[in-house]
Structure 1
Amino acid sequence: MKGRQVVLGHIFGQEAAALMEDGQLVDLLVATDAVAPFAPGAICRAQADRLMKGQGGIFVQLPDGQTGYLRDRKGVAEGKPLLVQVAGVAEDGKAVPVTTRLIFRGRHVLVTPGKPGVNVSRQIRIEDRRDELQALGQQALGDRSHGLILRSAAETADDQEIAEEVAELLDLADGICAETAGKPELLLDAPTPWEQAWMDWAEPAPDAIEEGEDSFERCGVLDAVDALLSARIDLQGQGDAFIEQTRALVAVDVNTGNDSSGAAGLKVNIALARELPRQLALRGLGGQIVVDFAPMPKRDRATLDQVLGAAFRNAGAEATLVGWTAMGLYELNRKRDRVPLARLATASGEA
Structure 2
Amino acid sequence: MKGRTIILDQVKGMEAAALLVDGKLDDLLIDHVDAPRPGAIYRGICDRPIKGQGGMMLRLSHGDVAFLRHGKGLRPGQALLVQVTGYGEGGKAIPVTDRVLFKSRYAIVTPGKPGMNISRQISDDDRRDELLTIAHEAHDQAHGLILRSSCATAAADDITDDVIAMQDLAAAVLDDADGTDPEALTEGDGPHTLAWREWTDRAEVVTEAGGFEAYGVLDQIAALTGSETALNPGSMVVEPTRALVAVDVNTGNDTSPAAALKANLAACRALPRALRLRGLGGQISIDFVSISKAHRRQVEQSLRAAFKADPIETALVGWTTMGLFELQRKRERAPLPLALLEDI
Tell me which interval the TM-score lies in, with the shorter structure as reference length: over 0.9
Residues in 1 aligned to 2:144 and 2:98: alpha-carbon distance in whole angstroms: 15
Q: In the alignment, is the contact (CA less than 8 A) between 2:44 and 2:183 conserved in 1?
A: yes
What amino acid is the match of 1:244? E
Q: In the alignment, is the contact (CA less than 8 A) between 2:282 and 2:329 conserved in 1?
A: yes
The one-character-per-residue Cα deviations of 1:58-93 (angstroms, maximum 9, x if unpaired) are 100011001000011134222101111100111111
Query: Cα distance, 1:136 vs. partner?
Result: 2.4
Residues in 1 aligned to 2:215 and 2:265: alpha-carbon distance in whole angstroms: 29
Confirm whether residue 46 of structure 1 aligns to residue 44 of structure 2. Answer: yes
Q: 2:297 aligns with which of 293, 296, 302?
A: 302
Q: 1:288 aligns with which of 267, 273, 283?
A: 283
Q: In the alignment, is the contact (CA less than 8 A) between 1:58 and 1:71 conserved in 2?
A: yes
The one-character-per-residue Cα deviations of 1:116-156 (angstroms, maximum 9, x if unpaired) are 11111122111121122123223333331x11111122122
The residue aligned with 2:95 is 97
User: Cα–Cα, structure 1 residues 192 and 317, in superposed 2: closer, same or farther, change >3 Å?
Assistant: closer
Moved more, 128-137 or 216-225: 128-137
The residue aligned with 1:124 is 122
Q: In the alignment, is the contact (CA less than 8 A) between 1:277 and 1:317 conserved in 2?
A: no
The residue aligned with 1:26 is 26
Confirm whether residue 162 of structure 1 aligns to residue 155 of structure 2. Answer: no
SS of 1:38 mapped into structure 2:
coil
What amino acid is the match of 1:300? H
Q: 1:328 aligns with which of 318, 323, 326?
A: 323
The residue aligned with 2:178 is 181
The residue aligned with 2:310 is 315
The one-character-per-residue Cα deviations of 1:302-324 (angstroms, maximum 9, x if unpaired) are 10011111111122331111111
The residue aligned with 2:140 is 142
Residues in 2 aligned to 1:186 and 1:316: alpha-carbon distance in whole angstroms: 27
Structure 1 unmatched runs, 5+: none
Query: Cα distance, 1:161 vs. partner?
Result: 2.1
Q: How many residues align?
A: 343
Residues in 1 aligned to 2:55 and 2:339: alpha-carbon distance in whole angstroms: 32
Q: In the alignment, is the contact (CA less than 8 A) between 1:15 and 1:30 conserved in 2?
A: yes
Q: In the alignment, is the contact (CA less than 8 A) between 1:12 and 1:345 conserved in 2?
A: no
Residues in 2 aligned to 1:69 and 1:92: alpha-carbon distance in whole angstroms: 14
Residues in 1 aligned to 2:211 and 2:36: alpha-carbon distance in whole angstroms: 27
Q: In the alignment, is the contact (CA less than 8 A) between 1:18 and 1:28 conserved in 2?
A: yes
The one-character-per-residue Cα deviations of 1:160-216 (angstroms, maximum 9, x if unpaired) are 221122111101101101212221111111112111111222x3221x222333211
Correspondence 1:269-280 to 2 at 5 A? 269-280=264-275
Give the structure-2-normalised TM-score. 0.96
Residues in 2 aligned to 1:348 and 1:185: alpha-carbon distance in whole angstroms: 33
Residues in 1 aligned to 2:292 and 2:270: alpha-carbon distance in whole angstroms: 21
Q: In the alignment, is the contact (CA less than 8 A) between 1:13 and 1:348 conserved in 2?
A: no
Residues in 1 aligned to 2:271 and 2:34: alpha-carbon distance in whole angstroms: 25
Q: Over aligned residue pairs, what C-alpha RMSD do you find? A: 1.5
User: Cα–Cα, structure 1 residues 347 and 57, in superposed 2: closer, same or farther, change >3 Å?
Assistant: farther
What amino acid is the match of 1:53? K
Give the structure-1-normalised TM-score. 0.94
The residue aligned with 1:219 is 215
What amino acid is the match of 1:248? A
Residues in 1 aligned to 2:182 and 2:144: alpha-carbon distance in whole angstroms: 26
